[in-house]
Amino acid sequence: MDDIENFLEERARLREELELLDELVMTYRSNTPQVQPRWDTSPQSVSFNDIDDSVVEKGIDIYCAPFEQVWNGIYEPGVYDKDTLWEDVHDPRKIAKVIDAWKHGTALSPMFLVKHGSRAMALVADGKHRLTVARYMGSESIPFMVSSDSSDWLKTAIPSAKRI
């Protein structure tokens, strides 16, 4: 009996959480606040990203560069452009959560970039919504994570990237 009660309580909690998120989406969609992106560039921030353990074990480095240079180093960045903030290509709940975190001063982990298969360019493996919101907010610089063995393609894709 306890298992059923626990399941129902958890389901009710999740439903309430989603309802609150949907309210936040409606609020921010109708009047998107201007927020300052805040980044957690500590070594511990790696654990907040959805990065395969085998990649993390090999090492992750955190870099920072001017936003426009990162933008130009990403393969087909238009999907993350500021005009797409509330478009169907993004999960509006994730967009709202990023805005809300930054509105309340919470630092988020940087996005994780990987090398494009055949080009010396980056693909956004994790952090697409953070990138989109940062673009919308007009960030001048942006930190990002890459695997420690990324130096060759990174020098070409984002030449001014500095390791933090």
pLDDT at 109: 96
pLDDT digits (tens, 9 = 90+) for 135-164: 999 999 999 999 998 778 999 999 999 999
pLDDT at 125 over 90: yes
| Residue 136 within a domain | yes
Average pLDDT of the chain? 93
What predicted TM-score, i.e. pTM, was given to this entire model? 0.89
- Please tell me the number of Cα atoms within 13 Å of 98 on its side-chain side: 28
Do 112 and 144 meet the contact criterion of CB atoms below 8 Å apart?
yes
pLDDT digits (tens, 9 = 90+) for 24-41: 999 999 999 999 999 999
Do 48 and 109 meet the contact criterion of CB atoms below 8 Å apart?
yes
| Residue 112 within a domain | yes
The domain tally of the chain equals: 1
Domain limits for position 123: 32-163
pLDDT at 67 over 80: yes
| Residue 76 within a domain | yes
- Range 2-16 average pLDDT: 88
From 20, 33, 32, select the one nearest 86 (Cα to Cα).
32
| Residue 59 within a domain | yes
| Residue 14 within a domain | no
From 70, 68, 72, 152, select the one nearest 115 (Cα to Cα).
152
Distance CA 75, CA 73 (A): 7
pLDDT at 2 over 90: no
Distance CA 66, CA 115 (A): 19
More reliable by pLDDT, 143 or 5: 143
